[in-house]
Amino acid sequence: MLKVPTQTAQPMVVEEAVSEIRKGDYLLKLEDGGDSFNMMPHAPSQHIDAKVVSIFDGISEAGQFQTITLNKGSAHGLEKGTVLSLYKRSRQVKMDMQKGKDGSRSVVKYLSIPAEEAGLAMVYRVSQNLASAIILENKTNISIGDTASEPGQDLDNMLDDGRHKPNVPQDPHDDEHNTTNILSNIH
């Protein structure tokens, strides 16, 4: 086959798609080599402390068989087939408690919810500083900011995100993403 550069755009025919194709989507060159998805699942060779930085299809949460992007890559010890546990980040729960019968005084307290194991993922594409992984199983939805690390982590020793200390006032933006008012549905 002879490749001749042209000055005009050439039409493309899509013969098969796994999801809808929309304006603004990118066309990427498929890597050479037929073993793109031929890999052996294995534990990481060193400690990994990665964060979920993106979820494929631009949604806010992911579940089984969806793709996530991690902020670590081959420079940090990840390779195709690396299996990682996914952990929900520790978070704060805001509790508004009424005092007095007339409800005139209000007390706000924050509960620290520790990190919890949320699922399992396997890396299938890796670059120097990023990796794509497929969620193999999950107990709860995976969100941007969740942690990916080697399986079997001691959850008591996982560092929290350091955004808030219990019963110390927070910045206003923390209420939007990292706290939940657990009494808001109680009447």
Structure confidence by residue, pLDDT tens digits, 47-102: 999 999 999 887 889 999 999 999 999 999 999 999 999 999 777 888 877 666 66
Residues contacting 110, CB < 8 A, separation 6+: 92, 93, 94, 95, 164, 166, 167, 168, 170, 179
Per DSSP, what are the bridge partners of residue 126?
Answer: 131
- At 173 the pLDDT is 42
Q: Could you tell me if residue 35 is inside a domain?
A: no
Q: Is the model's pLDDT at 139 over the cut of 80?
A: yes
Q: Could you tell me if residue 19 is inside a domain?
A: no
Q: Could you tell me if residue 16 is inside a domain?
A: no
The per-residue b/e assignment along 87-122, b for 16 or more CB within 10 angstroms, e otherwise, is bbbbbbebeeeeeeeeeeeeeeebeebebebbbbbb
Per DSSP, what are the bridge partners of residue 47?
Answer: none
Q: Is the model's pLDDT at 129 over the cut of 60?
A: yes
Q: How far is CA 187 from the centre of its chain?
A: 34
Q: Is the model's pLDDT at 175 over the cut of 70?
A: no
Q: Could you tell me if residue 29 is inside a domain?
A: no
Q: Could you tell me if residue 67 is inside a domain?
A: yes
> How many structural domains does the chain have?
1
For residue 66, the enclosing domain spans: 49-177
Q: Is the model's pLDDT at 165 over the cut of 70?
A: no
Q: Could you tell me if residue 27 is inside a domain?
A: no
Average pLDDT, the chain: 78
Tell me the one-letter amino acid at 158.
Answer: M
Q: How many Cβ atoms are within 10 Å of 161's Cβ, its own excluded?
A: 14
Proportion of the chain above pLDDT 70, given as a percent: 70
Q: Could you tell me if residue 120 is inside a domain?
A: yes
> Is 57 in a helix, a strand, or coil?
helix
- At 4 the pLDDT is 67
Q: Could you tell me if residue 42 is inside a domain?
A: no
CA angle 170, 168, 159 (to 5 degrees): 80
